[in-house]
Amino acid sequence: MLKSDLIDVSIPFSAGTPPWPGDTIFTCGWTARREDGSSVNIARLEMSAHSGTHADAPLHVDSEWPASETLPIDAFVGEACVIDLSRDGCDESNTIIDAETLATRLANISDFSRVLIRTGCSVRSGNFPEHWPSLGLPAVQWLVERGVRLLGVDAPSVDERNSTSLEVHHAVFAAGACVLENLNLHGVAVGRYYLYAQPLLIVGADAAPVRALLRRCD
């Protein structure tokens, strides 16, 4: 059996995956079971559109903006860079990343199309993090000016946990770029990769589930 060079960076959709506090918990039930006399097993899923790894749609932050079926596939497939903005622990006050720090992390990167940020504060542990580092608006604008098409994070949101203005979402979507959240970047080395993270073609939602994979670039 050949060993795959693909790295799965997805958070699973399961009952053990923490949702955003107050959101719908993932459940897998059954509408038909062979044990009950049916010829097949048929699963029934209930979940938030923001469970596991997912792509937000602009509709998430503005009711007049496009829904999940409009997400451009090519934004989620192509060369991407993984950078590390993690710190010790996720139980202290938020850390806002400024443009200078971001530029330093991306100093050796020539392609800013897709930037994936490891904060170290994800739901992969089975717990929802209290806080996580997030980009400040000047840092997002710095990316936008350099043509970013996709901003991805391992945290539950590209914005701070307690943000109600959702400035990062708004700035990214206003620039025509996309948002990918709840990645599993634990153990993934900083560097260049090829990303495969197509959102499911779901109509009318504010987000869509994703199976995200990376392949290391030479």
Active site residues: 60
How far from chain centre, in Å, is Cα 2?
29
Tokens of 152: 């991805």
Place of tokens 């589930």: 209
Count other Cβ atoms within 10 Å, centred on residue 7. 17
Q: How far is Cα 52 from Cα 28, in angstroms, rounded to an integer?
A: 14
Half-sphere exposure of 16 (CA within 13 A, CB side): 5
Strands 54-56 and 207-209: what pairing? antiparallel
CA angle 168, 174, 176 (to 5 degrees): 110
Q: From the CA atom positions of the chain, what is the Rg in Å? A: 18
**Cβ pair 208, 202 in contact under 8 A:** yes
Sheet containing 6-8, strands listed edge to edge, beginning at the edge strand earlier in sequence: 6-8, 213-216, 191-196, 77-84, 114-118, 150-153, 178-181, 54-56, 207-209
Tokens of 106: 């991306």
